[in-house]
Amino acid sequence: MILTLQKYWAQQGCVILQPYDMEVGAGTFHWATALKALTPANATEQDKKWRAAYVQACRRPADGRYGENPNRLQHYFQFQVLLKPSPKDSQELYLESLKEIGIKVEEHDIRFVEDDWESPTLGAKGLGWEVWCNGMEVSQFTYFQQVGGFPCKPVSTELTYGLERLAMYLQEKESIFELQYNDNMKYGEIYTEMEKSYGRFNFELANVDKIREQFSESEKQCIEICDKAKTKSDALPAYDYCLKASHLFNLLDARGAVQQNARPDYILRVRQLAHACCAVWLGEQRREAKR
């Protein structure tokens, strides 16, 4: 399935990238989407017309269920596509890709259900839909309007495929762990133990005080890099620390260590980091947030 999607999107002019080597909550956080969706004033032609596709491993500590729930994972895979500027036939291109992986649109109920996507930590938002196949959400389809608090000019089309869900659908399985990974291995045989261990770490073992310290350290590091940035690509190392902070916040959250009234503050701090990185990327001034 991944190979088919990669081949198809390569034919549409996408560079096929590899997963980013950081812990992220979604494919959107990869720099190839988050930063590349923004276009600096002095962008090169390639920058202005960026198309990329890649698989991204995602971690959402709070979603883990120790491998017990057949529908929930704390670690899973997304296939991500970014098309800039958004092509006029975005929807047709997407539907064609479903056909490629074996979902004939004539035989299934495919519908676009309004879903205005927003990532408060990334300061990103867009308008679009959840794409449903016979009532199951298989993709997120978004016209990116803003990242890091900066408007996307031009607007990009972002597609996110939930790979496990799609595979469950195609293989007619009712549990993620029953998915046939290849001819002789099941998904569960590869990932169940990992889900159990990470479940224990995320919910029970993670050292809250240490993670709080690491969060603050990452925050400092990110801002320091942004302050000393000389070129737009200095945003990349800074952005790494923004991603670290974001993941550490998710860990604290899963651990139940974020008091409800402290939540907005944490989210704001991560958003400020994303904003600072995007400001460097665009060569613009960063604005201080109102608390």
Partner 1 sequence: MSVDTSSAEKLNSQNVDTAELIVELYSEEIPWRMQEPMAQSLAMLLATELARALGLPKLDNHRLDNVEGAFGKQQLYSTPRRVAVAFDSVPKESKAWQETLKGPRVASPQVAVDGFLRKNKLGSTKECFKIEDRKGDYYAINIDHRSVATNGILGEVVSKVVMQMQKELKVSMRFADQSFRWVRPLRHILVVFAGAGVEGSINLGGELDQQEKLDFTNRTRGATLGSAEPFLVASIKDYEKKLRDNYVEPIYEQRLEIIKKDVESVNDNQNIIIEENACLTEYPCVLTGHFYEEFLSLPLGLIEAVLNHHQKIIYNVDYSTARCDFYFVANISQTTDKNKAIRGVERVVRARLADAKFMLERDKRIPIAEHIKKLEEITFHPKLGSIADKNSRVKKLIPIIISELEKHNDNFSISKDCNQAWFAKEVDQQKMGLATETVREFPKLQEIISEGLKPRNIFDVFIIPSINITELADAVDSLITLWFVGERASGSSDPFALRRYATTIINNLIKPRAVGKIDNGNNNESCVKESSGYYLPLSIIFDEILNITIDQGIHLNTNTNDVSRYYLAPEPIPFITTRIYQWMRYNYEDVRVDCIEAILIKPLNIEDCNILKMIERIKTLSGEMDKNNNLAEIYNRLQAILSSDLEEGEPFLLDAESYQEGKLVDHIEAKDLPNEKLFEKPEEKALFAFAKDIIMEGKAWDELSYQKKLESLANLKSLLDAFFDKVMVNVEDKKIRHNRVILLYRIFRRFGELANFSKIHHKDLKQQSRQQKASA
Give which of 75, 98, 79 is closest to 27, Cα–Cα.
79
Q: How far is the CB of 78 from partner 1 (least distance, A)?
A: 19
Judged by the rule CB under 8 A, the positions of this chain that interact with partner 1 are: 48, 68-72, 85-88, 90-91, 95, 105-114, 116, 126-129, 133-136, 143, 145, 153-155, 168-169, 172, 174, 256, 259-261
Degrees to nearest 5, angle at CA 147 with 141 and 148:
150
- 265: part of which helix (H) or strand (E)? helix 263-282
Q: How far is the CB of 243 from partner 1 (least distance, A)?
A: 25
- The phi and psi torsions of 269 (rounded to 5 degrees) equal -65, -40
Q: How far is the CB of 289 from partner 1 (least distance, A)?
A: 17
Q: How far is the CB of 13 from partner 1 (least distance, A)?
A: 15
- Residue (153 or 200) nearer to partner 1, CB: 153
- 45: part of which helix (H) or strand (E)? helix 45-48
Across 105-134, b (16+ Cβ under 10 Å) vs e yields: eeebebeeeebebebebbbbbbebbbbbbe
- Residue (140 or 145) nearer to partner 1, CB: 145
- Residue (169 or 177) nearer to partner 1, CB: 169
- Residue (9 or 169) nearer to partner 1, CB: 169
- Residue (143 or 201) nearer to partner 1, CB: 143
Cis status of the peptide bond prior to 154, with omega within 30 of 0: yes
